[in-house]
Amino acid sequence: MPELDPNMIPAPTATAVLTHVVRSIVDDPEAVKVDATEGRGRIRLEVRVGPGDLGRVIGRRGRTAQSIRTLVRAAATRDEVEVDVDFAD
């Protein structure tokens, strides 16, 4: 895995895709925040949304969240990294 520059966003393509998809789902797109951290050889993307929007992002039985994870993992192949997507309150 390439060395991370502290001034660069890790997994820029995956982060951009994740931000775009989540903002298109929620009621308050300005409240969407994506934080990236590196650990155990993977990039962890943590998504925070506005109050009341977490249910929309997770979806029924977690189907929407799982679909988002699949899409972002596919986008991360372009960044040549592996990502995990977490949705936080």
pLDDT single digits (tens) 16-61: 999 999 999 999 999 999 999 988 889 999 999 999 999 999 999 9
Q: Average of pLDDT values for 62-73?
A: 97
What pLDDT does 29 receive?
Answer: 96
Query: Are 24 and 32 contacting, i.e. CB atoms less than 8 angstroms apart?
Result: no
Choose which CATH entry (3.30.300.20, 3.40.640.10, 1.10.40.60, 3.50.7.10) describes domain 30-88. 3.30.300.20
Residues 6+ apart with CB under 8 A from 66: none
What pLDDT does 7 receive?
Answer: 54
The whole-model pTM stands at 0.88
What pLDDT does 5 receive?
Answer: 52
What pLDDT does 89 receive?
Answer: 75
Q: Average of pLDDT values for 3-7?
A: 51
The type of residue at 49 is V
Residue 1 clears pLDDT 50, i.e. is over it: no
Residue 2 clears pLDDT 60, i.e. is over it: no
